[in-house]
């Protein structure tokens, strides 16, 4: 049986997220009033969308793989992995 790939959201939280990336995303979420902010990292991209109130994590190497969550949930997840 083939191993299921973890969603990009899980992967960025457990792999690519460091203090700089976390701080950058938390600051952008706090400042986001309208429009969208797009961040490109090594293996993942993050789109913050104020109108849709969502955060989408995309796999840089497989455009069909992405995870979308409500901005508040994304903020909570970012804070939860802080200092781990």
pTM of the predicted protein model: 0.89
**What is the Cα–Cα distance from 50 to 52, expressed in whole angstroms?**
6
pLDDT at site 63: 80
Q: What is the pLDDT of residues 46-80, one digit of tens each?
A: 999 999 999 999 999 998 999 999 999 999 999 99
Q: Break the chain into its structural domains and give their ranges.
A: 8-80
pLDDT at site 6: 72
pLDDT at site 1: 45
Looking at every residue in the chain, the average pLDDT score rounds to 91
Does position 29 have pLDDT exceeding 60, yes or no? yes
**What is the Cα–Cα distance from 49 to 82, expressed in whole angstroms?**
22
Q: Position of tokens 């700089």?
A: 20
14 φψ region: left (φ > 0), alpha (ψ -120 to 50), beta (else): alpha
């Amino acid at each position: 049986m083939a191993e299921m790939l973890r969603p990009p959201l899980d992967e960025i939280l457990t792999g690519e997220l460091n203090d700089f990336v976390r701080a950058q995303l938390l600051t952008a979420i706090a400042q986001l009033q309208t429009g969208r902010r797009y961040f490109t990292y090594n293996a993942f991209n993050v789109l913050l969308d104020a109108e849709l109130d969502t955060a989408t994590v995309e796999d840089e190497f497989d455009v069909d793989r992405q995870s979308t969550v409500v901005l508040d949930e994304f903020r909570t997840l970012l804070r939860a992995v802080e200092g781990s």
